[in-house]
Homo-oligomer: A and B are copies of this chain.
Amino acid sequence: MANIKEIAKLAKVSVSTVSRVLNDHAYVSGDKRKAVLEAIEHLNYSRNMSAVQLINGKTNVIGVMLPFINHPYFTGLVEGISAEALKNNYQLMLCQTDYNELNEINVLKMLKTKQIDGIIICSKHMPLDQIEPYARYGPIVACEDVGSSPVSSVFLDHYTSFRRGINYLIERGHRHIGFCLGRNNGVNSQMRRRAYVDALTSIQEAIREEWIFYQSYRIEDGVDVLRKLLQMETRPTALLVTSDQVAAGIIMEAGKNGLRVPEDLAVIGFDNQPIAEVFDLTTIDNQLYEMGSQAFRIAYDQIMKIRELPEYRELEYRLIERSSV
């Protein structure tokens, strides 16, 4: 491959002039510019971006840390990040961690070794304090509430949104309420569990652990949940389900077993995915696209030094009323 030197020679100019043309600098005369352009054309030249990155100390790449990509929650986030990245001439490094700490550390290390300019954490396993030391190498933005930290965040108040969901059910006469979560150790999950406990306590209902389901991510997990419900002597009359996919599975399987929604079982989903509309599912929209694009902006502004300090932005959830409650 040709390099800048050969272009300079062919165009009979210096390498700096070539560089100026390449970077659209002013102060290059028309004919020299033209000569350079012709040489570039003629030699089919392209910049070697590794060299550019070395000298600029910048890659124009943002790392996206997530456990797995094949879930609408994460693709929703990524769509938002991606749209904003495209506008700002940034690329995305997709880093699937499987919630494995070693993989997560590797992503952080990529920041330190300058393979990426910043990181957006869609979801993580490792504790925050292991992440924080890396914030000095570039902006890190989490899509969950991290409190005050060198790590920025865009988040929803999952405590309030979950309580809002439960209250909505209580207002409609439900007292036997269960819920389904993804992980049981994430920040978001813990806040939700707390909201659940507080809400049930306020109406003097006992917490029944058998009505709480973890590791529910996909439609087939919802099917499993419903089947477990069928085994119980006392069933909850309502379920808060932190993924529309899982809620859809529950509703599907309920239908197969002659359980009516919402009469026999009310369901509230989360995320407001297209599948929620198809299933006429009442759901809590938590603005994934918006969250992703804001996360990118925060990272970007920090890379560009438009802003120096970490930022914490709270987004509003919305309750979408349909007919599953």
Contacts and interface: CB of A to CB of B under 8 A. Distances in A.
A214 interface: no
A79 interface: yes
Interface string A29-56: 0000000000000000011111101100
A96 interface: yes
Given A68-B79, A75-B69, A79-B69, A94 B93 contact: yes
A86 to B, nearest CB: 7
B86 A78 contact: no
Contacts of A95: 91-92
A125 interface: no
B61 A50 contact: no
Nearest to A103: B86
Interface stretch (A270-278, A293-301, A302-310): A270-278
A59 B47 CA distance: 15
Contact of A220 (B79, B92, B274): B274
16 contacts: A48-B54, A49-B110, A49-B115, A50-B53, A50-B115, A51-B54, A69-B75, A69-B79, A69-B82, A70-B72, A70-B76, A75-B75, A91-B110, A220-B277, A223-B278, A252-B278
A178 interface: no
A47 B54 CA distance: 12
- At the interface, is chain A mostly helix, strand, loop or mixed? helix
B94 A82 contact: yes
B113 A48 contact: yes
Contacts of A54: 48, 50-51, 53-54
A112 interface: yes
A64 interface: yes
A59 B53 CA distance: 12
A109 interface: yes
A94 B94 contact: yes
A69 to B, nearest CB: 5
Contacts of A252: 278-279
A96 B91 CA distance: 10
A114 interface: yes
A176 interface: no
B94 A115 contact: no
